[in-house]
Amino acid sequence: MESNSRRNLKSTLENIHHYKWLYPLVAITALFCTAPFLFLDPRFWAEEGSVYYQAAIASNYTFVFTFIAQGNYQFLTNLLVFLSTHVDTKYAPAVTTYLSIALFAVVAMQFNVIAKQYKIPPEASILSLVAFSLSPATAEIFASATNIQWIAALSITLMTITDYSEDQQGRRLWIYGWVLACGMTGVPSLLLTPFFFIQAYLNKSRTHFNIACVLVACIAVQAIVMTGTSHPTRQLIFAPRLLFGPFLLQTVFTQFTGPGFTKTLGAMVVGSRAFFLAIATIGVTVVGVLLYFSREKSTRNAAITLVLTWIFVSILQTLGALGGVPEKLRLLSGAGAARYYATGTLAILVLLSFTARSRGRIIVAIAFVVVVINGASYSQSTQRNRAAHSLSWKDQVQSCQFPCTVKIWPEGWTVTLQH
């Protein structure tokens, strides 16, 4: 009887990949557990309300295709905010919040695709998804329409290592449409363009080549937008500690040592070049070990692509981060502006799941549990703080004497409602 029970449990675990809806369910459950108030009482966040919603309520459908904020055109953000203007005002944030979460669920389903294609053990694929859902980067970007550009980049990242050889032509057209939507939503997705060309060459994949061409077209449009409009100051700083330190700390150390301890390491990096070199050596060694254990033929190209993505995109995000030296120094922490390193964090966690294909499944599972615990602790404390200092949008609107000003998160941001 006990032997049969073990076999049944093993069979169930091995077939988890066939339950594709389990992945978004797991991701949304993890998000709900850390921030239930966002699900139960949605609200606007910063520019989402003060800039986008404020403009959308005074516009028509052309808002979706023409609105540009801070030199940045974001198609999906415009679309979600425009849709939010077509419901009762007190429910408007629910539209952007729930649809943003739905797009994150799309990324979760892509985890399932990757797991099946690369035969990643089920516990590793599920734990990698939970770990990422609870990471500081996700805590910063989910449930907000203005942060969809970062979620779109996560989807595009997973597409770089997805095999489309067996997809039908009709499905590929949907894929190209999704890539177009992501490419027209900010810059982060566009940074992945070179890796589609690389995959097209290595795997003789026409689909990856076509995706790369779609992204090149999006780059051209976004370049025109950026050159024709004003945008926030971004100072390019090439000092090694500011260029490499942030992404090594936030994508590697934060995951395994926690944001609190990593923040201490960041302070030490600022004060000591030798300590920075030590941190860099440890970080590169960890990634090198993960790459070594992902060297099997079936995962080799994908693993190399993930490591190159981790390096290339993270460095470009650091260079393009808002502000000058003071703002860049804040990146030398455990979770400061973690959105910039969402793609790099995703790459590392997927790479870690690849290593579970070898004999170290138990070790990899333990590593993921450590990452999950660190992420859950940070996300819960962060979201609890937000809930304590964030006024209810619905309650304010219900008591509003039009015209009125409604406060949104973070403190100091508002939306003016005329009716």
Q: Which helix (H) or strand (E) holds 414?
A: strand 413-417
Residue 133 has pLDDT above 80, yes or no: yes
| Residue 121 within any structural domain of the chain | yes
Beta pairing partners, 234: 323
Output 361 or 190, whichever has higher pLDDT.
190
pLDDT classification of 4: cutoffs 50, 70, 90: low
Domain count, the chain: 1
Cβ(242)–Cβ(331) under 8 Å? Answer: yes
Residue 79 has pLDDT above 60, yes or no: yes
> What mean pLDDT, rounded, does the chain reach?
92
| Residue 10 within any structural domain of the chain | no
Cβ(345)–Cβ(135) under 8 Å? Answer: yes
Residue 9 has pLDDT above 70, yes or no: no
| Residue 69 within any structural domain of the chain | yes
Q: Pairing mode, if any, of strands 404-408 and 413-417?
A: antiparallel
Residue 326 has pLDDT above 90, yes or no: no
Residue 14 has pLDDT above 80, yes or no: no
CA–CA distance, 230 with 217 (Å, rounded to integer): 22
What is the number of other CB atoms lying within 10 angstroms of the CB of residue 407? Answer: 16
Note the pLDDT tens digit of each residue in 270-285. Answer: 989 999 999 999 999 9
Q: Which helix (H) or strand (E) holds 406?
A: strand 404-408
Residue position matching structure tokens 């419901």? 87
Q: Which residues contact 250 (CB under 8 A, 6 or more apart)?
A: 136, 137, 262, 331, 333, 334, 335, 336, 338, 341, 344, 345
| Residue 401 within any structural domain of the chain | no
| Residue 108 within any structural domain of the chain | yes
| Residue 224 within any structural domain of the chain | yes
| Residue 413 within any structural domain of the chain | no
pLDDT of residue 151: 98
Helix axes 148-160, 193-202, angle to 10 degrees: 10
The parent domain of residue 65 ranges over 20-393
pLDDT of residue 322: 84
State the amino acid at position 57 in one-letter form: I
Residues in the chain: 419
Helix axes 193-202, 206-228, angle to 10 degrees: 160
Query: What SS3 class is residue 409?
Result: strand
Give the lowest-confidence range in 113-122, 130-139, 140-149, 234-243: 234-243
Tokens of 258: 């926690």
Task: Classify the C-alpha dihedral 177-181-187-188 as positive or negative.
Answer: negative
Q: What is the pTM of this model?
A: 0.94
pLDDT classification of 237: cutoffs 50, 70, 90: confident
Tokens of 116: 């099946």
| Residue 201 within any structural domain of the chain | yes
